Amino acid sequence: MGLFDKILGEKSEQTEVPDLEELMQSEGDVVSPPADFYVKRVDLRNEGDGELAMNELASKNIIILNVVPLSKQPKRLKEILSKLKMHSNKTNGDIALLSNDMIILTPTNVKIVKSKPKPKRSGTAIS
C-alpha cells in the first residue's frame, strides 16, 4: 500500500450505495406520541380523493399527491388539479410539482420555496 493509497483509500474499494427503500421502511402508520401535523400521501383516483386532500389541508397536514392513477385521464386530472390550486390560493396554502408523478400541497401559511429556472445563456458576450 503506497502513501497515496493510505491518504485516498484503495482504488479497488468501491463505495456501496445504501438501499434507500430498506432504510426508509417503518413499522406502519403508528405515530407515538401523536403529532400536531402530518405529512400524508394521497393517491388521486377521483374527485373524492381531491376532496380528501382539501380536508387534510384544513387539518393542517401536508399532502404528497400521487397523480399516476389519473395520468391516463388528462382532462379529469387537469380539472381536479385546477380545483386544488384554486383552493391553495384561497386558503393561502401552496402547491408545487415534486416530479411528474407527485405534487406537494401545503396548508394555510406554509409556503414552498420554489427554485426559479436558470436563464438560458446566449452565445453573445456582453462587453
Conformational region of residue 112, where left means phi above 0, alpha means psi within -120 to 50, and beta covers everything else: beta
Give the pLDDT band of residue 15 (cuts 50, 70, 90): low
Q: Is-contact 113 77, C-beta < 8 A?
A: no
Long-range pairs of 92-95 with CB within 8 A, sequence gap ≥ 24: 93/57
Residue ranges per structural domain of the chain: 35-109
Give the pLDDT band of residue 32 (cuts 50, 70, 90): confident
Does domain 35-109 fall into CATH 1.20.120.1200? Answer: no
Q: Is the pTM of this model over 0.75?
A: no
Round the CA-based radius of gyration of the chain to a whole number and report it.
Answer: 22
Query: What's the pLDDT at 35?
Result: 87
Q: Is-contact 103 65, C-beta < 8 A?
A: yes
